[in-house]
């Protein structure tokens, strides 16, 4: 049975998945661009939210190209 925690990843995992620097991932969290929960000093990021953000960034008309590389 799947739980909501099955879809949570660390900042480091999100950085590796997206190609963004870990600090930029934290900026996206603070700006509310991706969904995350804080457990003490650690962020747990909703993986689906990150993937949605990456798709929107690639399609954005404002010229954002997304990360320099991607392992997706």
Domain of residue 15, CATH code: 1.10.1660.10
* 3-class DSSP state of 52: helix
Tell me whether residue 68 is in a domain: no
pLDDT of residue 1: 37
Tell me whether residue 25 is in a domain: yes
| pLDDT level of residue 57 (50, 70, 90 thresholds) | confident
Q: In whole angstroms, what is the distance from residue 32 CA to residue 26 CA? A: 10
| pLDDT level of residue 4 (50, 70, 90 thresholds) | low
Residue 27's closest CA among 43, 16, 13? 43
Q: In whole angstroms, what is the distance from residue 1 CA to residue 32 CA? A: 29
pLDDT of residue 61: 76
pLDDT digits (tens, 9 = 90+) for 5-43: 569 999 999 999 999 999 999 999 999 999 999 999 999
pTM for this model (two decimals): 0.78
Tell me whether residue 55 is in a domain: yes
């Amino acid at each position: 049975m799947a739980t909501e925690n099955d879809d949570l990843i660390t900042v480091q995992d999100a950085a590796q998945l997206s190609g963004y620097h870990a600090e930029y991932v934290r900026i996206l969290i603070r700006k509310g661009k991706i969904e995350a929960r804080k457990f003490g000093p650690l962020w747990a990021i909703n993986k689906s939210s990150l993937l949605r953000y990456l798709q929107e960034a690639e399609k954005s008309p404002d010229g954002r190209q997304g990360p320099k590389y991607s392992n997706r």
